[in-house]
Amino acid sequence: MGPESALTRRTLLSGGALFGLTGLLAACGQQAANEAAGSTSSGAPSETAVATDASSASATPSPVITRGYSGGSKAPDGEYRKADEYGPAQNVPLPKARPQQYPETFAGLREMMRDWIKARNYGIQTGDMQYVRPYMLDTFKSDIEFLNSIEKLYKEGGWVIEGTSEYQAESDLMYDEEAKEYWVLTRRLWTYGLYIHPNGKMRKRTNTGNENETFMFRYRYKDGYWYLSEYRSNEELRKEGLIK
């Protein structure tokens, strides 16, 4: 395991720190297949889902939205434009092409998380998930399913307004000797996400409370790389007395 191999279960390593790139940035969507269902899972933040259908007030069919350019025009090369009602974000800065090797320390984990957050937010703004997938093991199921649903939305002609998120460490880095994994209590920071569907439907998810925002993020370290392994819900954390 490296320098931390002798640590006992849940041993403190170092102080908590902000994972995010720029602090309190906007929004994250719902996890997993709930995006399509419009419901909230036990492992997801407290959110309010509001779906509006352009045909709800009449018997006429929903309009088909034509995806154009955010800001109403094609942005010059290199000019970043956020998504809006006219179209998806333009010229989103690329994340790192592949995961980097970092030391088996909290500082190393923070560097990986910064890379993952940038790759994840890039995928949410573009529908291109090739950069974020290598950071996550198959056991990181809910977020993988959520990102797959976003990818599908873009392929169908939709897009996301806002919807990105930042993450903040709420505990020290711990080591679970039984599972051979590390974990950190982590808070997700977001405001809202607006999902534009090509059939005229619009779905909004809003963060209505911070009490449901803390998760246990679990990690594995192998051959110089950190991997996201799993995250656990608030209910599980409360049962273990890790949060109130």
Express each pLDDT in 60-81 by its tens digit.
556 677 789 999 999 999 999 9
In a domain, 128, yes or no: yes
Provide the pLDDT confidence category of residue 18 given band limits of 50, 70 and 90.
Answer: low
Evaluate whether residue 120 is within a structural domain.
yes
Whether residue 1 lies inside any domain: the answer is no
Is the separation of the CB atoms in 163 and 194 below 8 Å?
yes
Residues 6+ apart with CB under 8 A from 124: 28, 29, 147, 150, 160, 163, 164, 193
Q: Is the pLDDT of residue 22 over 90?
A: no
Do the beta carbons of residue 165 and residue 190 sit within 8 Å? yes
pLDDT band at 214 (very low <50, low <70, confident <90, very high): confident
Which residues contact residue 147 at a Cβ distance below 8 angstroms, ignoring those fewer than 6 apart? 120, 123, 124, 129, 132, 133
The closest alpha carbon to 212, from 51, 40, 36, belongs to: 40
Pairing of strands 159-162, 192-196: antiparallel
In SS3 terms, the chain reads as CCCCCCCCCCCCCCCCCECCCCCCCCCCCCCCCHHHHCCCCCCCCCEEEEEEECCCCCCCCCCCCCCCCHHHCCCCCCCCECCECCECCECCCCCCCCCCCCCCCHHHHHHHHHHHHHHHHHHHHHCCCCCCHHHECCCCHHHHHHHHHHHHHHHCCCEEEECCCEEEECCCCEEECCCCEEEEEEEEECCEEEEECCCCEEEEEEECCHHHCEEEEEEEEECCEEEEEEEECHHHHHHCCCCC
User: What's the confidence (pLDDT) of residue 64?
Assistant: 73
Structural contact between residues 29 and 163, judged by C-beta atoms closer than 8 angstroms: yes
Residue 44 is assigned to a structural domain of this protein? yes
**Which of 115, 93, 124 shows the shortest CA–CA distance to 30?**
124
Residue 27 is assigned to a structural domain of this protein: no
Query: Could you tell me whether strands 174-176 and 166-169 are parallel, antiparallel, or unpaired per DSSP bridges?
Result: unpaired
Residue range(s) defining the domain that contains residue 132: 34-239
Tokens of 144: 């993988």
Count up the domains in the chain and report the number: 1
pTM over 0.75: yes
pLDDT value of position 65: 75
Q: Is residue 187 in a domain?
A: yes
pLDDT digits (tens, 9 = 90+) for 103-150: 999 999 999 999 999 999 999 999 999 999 999 999 999 999 999 999
pLDDT of amino acid 62: 60
In a domain, 16, yes or no: no
Supply the pLDDT for residue 238: 77
According to the model, what pLDDT value does residue 60 have?
53
List the single range of 13-17, 53-57, 60-64 with lowest mean pLDDT: 53-57
Name the percent of the chain lying above pLDDT 90.
59
Mean pLDDT of 181-185: 96
Is the pLDDT confidence value at 45 over 50? Answer: no
User: In sequence order, which residues have a C-beta less than 8 Å from that of residue 141 and are 6 or more positions away?
Assistant: 32
- Report percent pLDDT > 70 for the chain: 73
5 occurs within a structural domain:
no
Question: How high is the pLDDT of residue 98?
Answer: 97
Given a cut of 70, whether residue 180 has pLDDT beyond it is yes
